[in-house]
Structure 1
Amino acid sequence: MKKSLITPEGLFLILFFSLLNSNIISAQKKDQMVRMSEIEIVPEYLEEYKAILKEESEASVRLEPGVIAIFPMFQKENPNQLRILEIYANKESYQSHLKTPHFLVYKTSTLKMVKSLKLVDMDPLDAEAMPEMFKKYN
Structure 2
Amino acid sequence: MKLPKVVLILFLAIFCISSYGQEKNENQDVEVDEMIIRMAKIKVYANHRDEYIAILNEEAEASIKLEPGVICIYPMYQKENPNEIRLLEIYANKKAYQSHLETPHFKSYKEKTRSMIETLELIDMKALDKETMPLIFNKIKD
What TM-score do you get using the length of structure 1 for normalisation?
Answer: 0.80
82, 99, 104: which one aligns with 1:101: 104
Q: SS of 2:97's equivalent? A: helix
How far apart are 1:30 and its partner, in Å?
1.8
How large is the RMSD of aligned CA atoms in angstroms? 1.5
Query: Structure 2 CA distance, aligned partners of 1:44 and 1:22?
Result: 46
Residue 33 of structure 1 contacts residue 91 of structure 1 at CA under 8 Å; is this kept in 2? yes
Counterpart position of 1:90:
93
After TM superposition, where is structure 1 displaced by more than 4 Å over at least 4 residues in a row?
none
44, 48, 57: which one aligns with 1:45: 48
**Greater Rg, structure 1 or structure 2?**
2
Q: Does 1:27 align with 2:33?
A: no
Residue 22 of structure 1 contacts residue 131 of structure 1 at CA under 8 Å; is this kept in 2? no
Gaps in structure 2 of 5+ consecutive residues: 1-23
Q: Does 1:111 align with 2:97?
A: no
Q: SS of 2:65's equivalent? A: helix
Number of equivalent positions: 118
Pick the structure with more helix per residue. Answer: 2
Larger relative contact order (CA 8 Å, sep ≥ 6): 1
Q: Does 1:77 align with 2:80?
A: yes
Query: Structure 2 CA distance, aligned partners of 1:69 and 1:22?
Result: 19
Counterpart position of 2:69:
66
Per mean C-alpha deviation after superposition, the further-off stretch among 78-87 and 123-132 is 123-132
Gaps in structure 1 of 5+ consecutive residues: 1-20
Query: Structure 2 CA distance, aligned partners of 1:38 and 1:29?
Result: 23
Query: Structure 1 CA distance, aligned partners of 2:131 and 2:75?
Result: 22
Q: SS of 1:27's equivalent? A: coil
Percent identity at matched positions? 51
How far apart are 1:23 and its partner, in Å?
4.0
Query: Structure 2 CA distance, aligned partners of 1:50 and 1:66?
Result: 23
